Amino acid sequence: MKITLQTYLPCIVFLFTILNSTQQLSADEKKKVYDLPLDQLVNFEVVSASRFKQKSSEAPSAVEVLTAENIRNYGWRNLADALGAIRGLYTRNDRNYSFLGNRGFSRGGDYNSRVLIMIDGRRMNETIFDSGFIGEEFMLDMNLIERIEYIPGTGSSVYGANALLGVINVITKRGKDIDGMRIGGEAGSLGTYRGRATFGKQWSNGAELLLSGSHYLSQGNERLYFPEFANINGGIAQDKDHERNNRAFGKFSFGDFTLRGGYISRYKQIPTGSFGAFFNENNFSVDNQGYVDLDYLTQVNPNLDLEVRGFHHWYDYYAIGPYNADDKSILSREEADARWWGGEVKLTGTQFAHHKWITGLEVQYDQRQHYNNYDIGSPPPSFDRKNSGWRAGVYVQDEYRITDSLLLNVGLRLDQHHLIKHLQLNPRIALIWDITPTFTTKLLYGSAFRAPNILEHDLNTAKAILPQEERVKSYEAVAEWYPGNSVKLLGTVFYNDISRVLQSDPVTFNTVNTGKFSTLGFEFGAEKNWDNGRQLKLSWTHNNTRDNSVNGGSWATDSPKNLVKLHYAEPLLDNKLRLGFEEIFVDERLTVAHKIAPSYHLFNINLALTKPIYGFQANLGVYNVLDQHFKIVPGPNYVQDTLTGDGRTVRFRLEYGF
């Protein structure tokens, strides 16, 4: 769908009308409540607390959190930028999608299917490739994000499939956080622009609304040089790096109900000649994803919360590219469409002393999982597959406070998935011991699974060889020390045993569960936040990830042994401005062709207003300041063994709120 200004305009005009017709601003109303004398306050009815609880991840600690303030301080342009700042994670963009590596484990072309990506606690991985989008193909603009939670390790004991290496939960802002209308614009290098309108409000009867829409456009690199294609147009992909997206997100809550919905349509040209496409020809992909989710969260009694929800998601994808068939150029079209819906019932209870328990049942019907790949103009489809089926999971978790200093968290989930034969039972156990009030240790164990995606499931020529689930067992020990003065120090030791990893058999090209990987590593983290807003944060992840599926085992591909991250934010001009520095070091990696991709530094600087001036909020970011020609390792379907990332770029953002 082509969205023009004509379609936007009526909406904007209407939002203005809503705003003008509003009698009372909630900020004033709140001020009134703050100022009420005690004898009136005691007569106020407390609105059920449960519905205002921010949806937070159900995980036994070890959670890393990025806040809206961090996003502003460091000027992250999209989710991938933000995730790249987290201890143990590394991202790469292959000029089509953004990918996430996790504590040394990264498989080319897995579209983040081994991580669970959530918005407000809702699974966003689609049901064709299981992709979890994080780049401009992710559904949310950064200004809508209240915080990002990252739970390293296994998450299947609560969330089921795909939570193999970690769970990322992106929590959206509330209508009252926006409190009015905000119009924003972004302009930057490589012909990049974004326009955005966001409206948010809470009314006196408790109803709350958040609505946002945006359009993004990037011309990308005019000329991209790939020496591997030197015989075609001198190796230059000319004007083949365009990207654009349209995003919409809304949230409306009233009483105990919350309705959420989101939509993204992303178009990206593919300049790399990947998957055997002709180089420097028009080749692109389009991903459309949307969802609606209706949630009912209520407090049955002070010790029991009940949540019931229903959801419907859809995903459409197509890619068109020119390929060689009998020395003729033919256009090939790959397409997929998926629909899925389901529901969940969840109970959270605190009636037993020292226990907080959660139990739930989640059901999902994969109504349509359709994948097709054919040559345009040739009648018989070359590969057309349709699937459907049920998945269900039942889970229970208990947080047991054994003594004031000892906490045990045990979770267990049983999953049935229509693409695999066996039931999956995945536990997670965490023992948390506060040795002193300022020194905490944690021991964690968990397992998780990932079912094959539709492509892996249906690709095999012999139906007898049906691929089964991948498995991981993870062990971790954590020590946290708070020596005072707002300093936090952290150390971890972790071991991941990943087995039955799906990979393509080099002879038969069948997808088989033959991959075996192991990761042993440790992390250090230090953080200090000053009262005036200054922040210093440092993390170092070291790991040794082995690919044990090859003879005798070897260093896994795309696995940097060291990741070092430094973040520093400094308030300027009486805290009117915030200057943020970000330095990310990614160590050398083994490529698919068994060469070495050199280590690199990414250094970014961002300058932001801390509070709007006359309603204007401005932000200027310079990315890859040192103009490093850093190399990333793309997936196996590339002629190139490494790809070069973007050099120095600048992005300016201006937002007006009223």
Cβ proximity to other proteins: between 49 and 443 the closer is: 49
Interacting residues of 353 by C-beta distance below 8 A, sequence separation 6+: none
Question: Cβ–Cβ contacts within 10 Å for residue 619, how many?
Answer: 21
In the bound state with other proteins, the residue whose beta carbon lies nearer, of 7 and 382, is 7
535, two tokens: 């922040």
Measure the CA–CA gap between 77 and 621, rounded to whole angstroms.
Answer: 9
23 vs 551 by CB, closer to other proteins: 23
Query: Is 35 a residue that touches other proteins (CB under 8 A)?
Result: yes
Between 175 and 521, CB nearer to other proteins: 175
State the minimum distance, in angstroms, from the CB of residue 306 to other proteins. 18
- Among residues 215, 244, 401, 542, the one that binds other proteins under rule CB under 8 A: 401
Q: Cα 169–160–369 angle (5° rounding)?
A: 95
Helix, strand, or coil here: 612? coil
Distance CA(88)–CA(79), nearest Å, equals 16
- Nearest approach in angstroms of CB 54 to other proteins is 6
The region of 204-212, 239-247, 330-338, 646-654 touching other proteins under the rule CB under 8 A is: 204-212
Is 486 a binding residue for other proteins by CB under 8 A? The answer is yes
C-beta of 434: minimal distance to other proteins in Å?
5
* Candidate ranges 23-31, 234-242, 305-313, 546-554; the one touching other proteins (CB under 8 A): 23-31
Asked if 609 and 617 count as a contact pair (C-beta separation under 8 A), the reply is yes
Candidates 72, 86, 279, 285; CA nearest to 169 is: 86
Between 66 and 633, whose beta carbon lies closer to other proteins? 66
Give the closest residue to 129 by CA, choosing from 552, 419, 522. 419
Q: Which of 47, 300, 402, 572 binds other proteins (CB under 8 A)?
A: 47
Distance in Å, CB of 404 to other proteins, minimum:
4
Q: Which of 351, 405, 508, 575 binds other proteins (CB under 8 A)?
A: 405
11 near other proteins, judged by CB under 8 A: yes
Contacting residue, 379, 484, 506, 552, with other proteins by CB under 8 A: 484
User: What's the first-to-final CA gap in the chain, in angstroms?
Assistant: 30
User: Is there binding between residue 418 and other proteins (CB under 8 A)?
Assistant: no
Under rule CB under 8 A, residue 329 binds other proteins: no
Stretch that binds other proteins, among 310-318, 341-349, 434-442, 558-566 (CB under 8 A): 434-442
The burial of 108, by beta-carbon neighbours within 10 Å (0-12 exposed, 13-18 middle, 19 or more buried), is given as: middle
Q: Output the CA–CA distances (angstroms, integers) from residue 72 to 75, 144, 580, in the order listed.
A: 5, 12, 9
Q: Cβ(194)–Cβ(213) under 8 Å?
A: no
Indicate whether 483 belongs to the interface with other proteins (CB under 8 A). yes
One residue of 5, 46, 462, 464 binding other proteins per CB under 8 A: 46
User: Residue 34, interface with other proteins (CB under 8 A)?
Assistant: yes
> Could you give the CA distance from residue 14 to residue 17 in angstroms, rounded to a whole number?
5
Based on the shown chain and the rule CB under 8 A, indicate whether residue 209 belongs to the binding site for other proteins.
yes
Interface residue with other proteins among 5, 20, 38, 377 (CB under 8 A) is: 38
The minimum distance between CB 397 and other proteins, in angstroms, equals 17
Is the separation of the CB atoms in 543 and 553 below 8 Å? no
Does residue 434 interact with other proteins by CB under 8 A? yes
148 contributes a contact to other proteins by CB under 8 A: no
- Smallest gap from residue 503 Cβ to other proteins (A): 42
**Minimal CA–CA distance to 105: which of 560, 473, 500, 508?**
560
Residues numbered 435-464 forming contacts with other proteins, rule: CB under 8 A: 437-438
Report yes or no: 52 and 237 within 8 Å, Cβ to Cβ.
Answer: no
576 is an interface residue for other proteins by CB under 8 A: no
**Is 377 near other proteins (CB under 8 A)?**
no
Do β-strands 166-172 and 116-119 pair in parallel, antiparallel, or remain unpaired? parallel
Q: Is 33 in the site for other proteins (CB under 8 A)?
A: yes
CB of 156 to other proteins, least distance (A): 26
Q: In terms of CB distance, is 108 or 261 closer to other proteins?
A: 261
| Residue among 25 and 520 whose Cβ is closer to other proteins | 25
CA distance 245 to 199: 20
- Say how many residues touch other proteins, by CB under 8 A: 52
Task: Please say which residue, 40 or 231, places its beta carbon nearer to other proteins.
Answer: 40
Work out how close the CB of 177 gets to other proteins at its nearest, in angstroms, rounded to a whole number: 8
SS3 36: coil
Binding residues for other proteins restricted to 158-177, rule: CB under 8 A: 177
Burial letters 45-78, b for 16+ CB under 10 A, else e: eeeeebbeeebebbbbebebebebbbbbbbbbbb
Using CB under 8 A, which of the segments 31-39, 123-131, 415-423, 549-557 binds other proteins? 31-39
Distance CA 130, CA 132 (A): 7
Q: What element of type H or E holds 516?
A: strand 511-529
Q: Which stretch binds other proteins (CB under 8 A): 9-17, 288-296, 333-341, 542-550?
A: 9-17
Contacts with 444 (C-beta within 8 Å, 6 or more apart), sequence order: 60, 62, 153, 428, 429, 430, 431, 474, 475, 476, 477, 478
| Bridge partner residues of 358 (DSSP) | 348, 397
Report the nearest approach of other proteins to the CB of residue 474 (Å).
25
* 18 is a contact residue toward other proteins (CB under 8 A): yes
Q: Pick out residues in 222-261 that bind other proteins (CB under 8 A).
A: 252, 254
Report the 10 Å Cβ neighbour count for 38.
6
Residue of 110, 99, 154 lying closest to 503 (CA atoms): 110
List interacting residues with other proteins (CB under 8 A): 10-11, 14, 18, 27, 30-31, 33-47, 49, 52, 54, 65, 67, 177, 203-207, 209, 252, 254, 302, 401, 404-405, 434, 437-438, 482-488, 529, 531
